[in-house]
Amino acid sequence: MVMDILYGGFFYQTTMSSGHYNKNPCQECEGEGQTVQRRQVSFNVPAGTNNGDSLKFQVGKNQVFVRFNVAPSLKFRREKDDIHCDVDQFYEFLIVFS
pLDDT in tens, 6-24: 565 565 666 655 666 667 7
Quote the number of domains for the chain. 1
The reported pLDDT for the residue numbered 96 is 64
Residues spanned by the domain of 56: 5-13+24-77+88-94
The verdict on residue 51 lying in a domain is: yes
Helix or strand holding residue 95 (H, E): helix 91-96
Inter-CA distances, 55 with 50, 70, 78, Å: 11, 14, 20
Q: For 36-53, how does the pLDDT look when each residue is reduced to its tens digit (9 = 90+)?
A: 778 788 888 888 788 889
Decide: helix, strand or coil at residue 78.
strand
Q: Does residue 41 lie within any of the structural domains?
A: yes
The model scores a pTM over 0.75:
no
Tell me whether residue 18 is in a domain: no
